[in-house]
Amino acid sequence: MESNELSPEKSLQLISDMISKSRTELSKTTGKPFLIWGFCVLATSLLVWITWSQTGNPKWNLLWYAMIVAGGGLSLLLQRKRSKRGEKRTARTFIGSAIDTTWILFGCISCSVAVINIFVAIPVLLYILLLMGFATALTGSLLKRPAIIACGVASILVCIPLGAGFWNMGPDSTLAMSLSALISLVIPGFILNGKSSKTPQNV
């Protein structure tokens, strides 16, 4: 009578294969959200920079709240399109949950910092840029994508001149957000999409 029990070596190999497959599937579904939010942040930061510079009125920063609504709407639209195409939803895994939690926390903390800034003057842009770079680097680490980790670290380095006071905290400070969005969201989005398009569907 044959035994159905797996040896420790085969069990470890099976777990390793499942984790690898999970990372592959997550890479396929993570690239587009990166691009959606990356281009939303990039476009909004440039729009705020132009309007703030032309009018001298910092209230144009309220456009960031409109960006949150637009980005959320586009993300929901992407999910609906996937459902209509009949794409299978990636099974819930630890890595997927960790990535989702990372970005949910980033969003919650960033919004909280922005609200606090209404009552207490704090370097809100610096905090958000640091958090965004860290979230990107952590996502790259979870997906085992060194290039994504490098993008996150590079985005954090943008904060050094900002934190040291070498970057004007007026309208020009939004250009730091544009640069960070390009490095930590847009470029990783293209990298992930490129990786997933080269990955066989039966992996």
Could you tell me which residue, 161 or 3, shows the higher pLDDT? 161
Please give the Cα distance from 128 to 154 (Å, whole number). 15
The confidence score (pLDDT) of residue 45 equals 93
Write the DSSP string, 5-69.
Answer: PPPHHHHHHHHHHHHHHHHHHHHHHHHHHHHHHHHHHHHHHHHHHHHHHHH--GGGGGHHHHHHH
Cα atoms found within 13 Å of the Cα of residue 86, Cβ hemisphere only: 0
Place of tokens 């943008």: 158
Lowest mean pLDDT across 175-179, 190-194, 198-202: 198-202
Q: How many CB atoms lie within 10 A of CB 185?
A: 25
pLDDT at residue 16 is higher than 90: no
The confidence score (pLDDT) of residue 74 equals 86
Q: Which band of pLDDT confidence, cut at 50, 70 and 90, is reported for residue 89?
A: low
The length of the chain, given as a count of residues: 203
Decide: pTM greater than 0.75: yes
The string of pLDDT tens digits covering residues 158-174 is: 888 776 666 667 788 88
The string of pLDDT tens digits covering residues 52-66 is: 999 989 889 889 888
Lowest mean pLDDT across 77-81, 140-144, 177-181, 185-189: 77-81
List the chain domain ranges: 28-85+93-191
Q: Which band of pLDDT confidence, cut at 50, 70 and 90, is reported for residue 94?
A: confident
